[in-house]
Structure 1
Amino acid sequence: MSTLDDLLAKQAIGEIVLRYCRGIDRLDLDLVRSAYHPDGIDHHTGFDGTIEEYLVWVASALHRLGGTMHLVGNQLIELHGDDLAVAETYGTAVHWGDPPDDPQRNFTSGFRYVDRMERRSGRWAIAERWAVREWTRSDAGLALTKEGAGPSGRRDRTDPLYHALGRR
């Protein structure tokens, strides 16, 4: 692989992680699915299985919450030939819901995504993911109401993101 090919591969792999986070936060399960190969495997706290099984499990978990926000930071992508990579991505995930004093619905976690990515037919995607939970803290009772009028995030196609995408 050339240096340019390496950079393009790493950019594509980085965008897979961001697409996954957007899909989770906006409850866009088709977008989440697009981050994986059809036979992809996922290992999360409380779950191990195929991508299709994961989508059922995560949809149930997410519908119990008012929202989530995944913030990713450090990312190291190691390419192993032309069609295999391992990506390690550090992040923080904030979860909130009603009632606001319920620690099962209001918490923040530090995590790492350890992803085995494969390029198949020219497309990079997750072949296997380990969502490694490093720590969790309760945010129960800490949420404040919004201080004024303005755009609010939505977990469907009425989110401002989809409005902006529709105007391209």
Structure 2
Amino acid sequence: MEGAMKALLDREAIRDCVARLARGEDRRSADLIRSCWWPDATFDYGVHGGDFEAYLAWVVPGADAIKDTQHVLGQTCIELGGDSAKAETHVISYHRVDMGEGDRDTCIGGRYLDTFAFRDGEWRIADRVMLYDWEQDWGDAADWSKGVMGYPFTAEHFPGRAKGDYSERWFAGETK
């Protein structure tokens, strides 16, 4: 039972790390992202690769053309192996991109192949490879100044999150 409990806790810590990283990427939070990767980690996204500092410089502050992102995570298949683990996580990532002639909404479906290392009592990513399964250009981006489905927003904090995310203040108890 003790081994099963440790495996359960290890798997949950790995899933939590993947979720925190997606949250950090969507908010361009260097601190949150840094908490998920080992400093000597590497990555290969097919379009960009290198060491952790190259990854961080690529994601934070992020390209000016990419105004918003949202990473929706699917199942994570985890294989534990002592102080290392392999995890495949399905991801759908939305991006609002300024293409020079107006914003467009795009979406990518793929999988993260993460190698995790357990050091100093915590699991973090040691290496990541991104696999792409599909991509879709959804066309002209929605105009958030008009609200949603014809209903205007009642406050500025409802749309977007790449900068000044309302949920950060909500978690900190800084809202009404």
C-alpha separation in 2, matches of 1:167 and 1:143: 30
Summarize the Cα distance change of 1:123–1:31 in structure 2 as closer, same or farther, 3 Å threshold. same
Q: 1:71–1:100: structure 2 CA closer, same or farther, 3 Å change rule?
A: farther
The verdict on how the C-alpha distance between 1:138 and 1:90 changes in structure 2, with shifts beyond 3 A counting, is same
CA RMSD after TM alignment = 2.2
Work out whether 1:88 is the aligned partner of 2:94: no
Other structure's SS at 1:2 match = helix
Tell me how far 1:55 sits from its aligned partner.
1.1
Query: Percent identity among equivalent residues?
Result: 32
* 1:153 correspondence with 2:160: yes
Q: 1:48 deviation in Å?
A: 1.3
Query: What amino acid is the match of 2:78?
Result: I
Distance in structure 2 (CA, Å) of the matches to 1:154 and 1:48: 26
How many pairs does the alignment contain?
165
- Cα deviation, 1:78-109, whole Å, max 9, x if unaligned, reads 1012x111000001000013359668x53100
Larger radius of gyration: 2
8 A Cα contact 1:153 1:160, kept in partner = no
TM-score normalised by structure 2 residue count: 0.84
- 1:113-148 CA-to-partner distances (Å, cap 9, x unmatched) read 000001011111000000111111112225354322
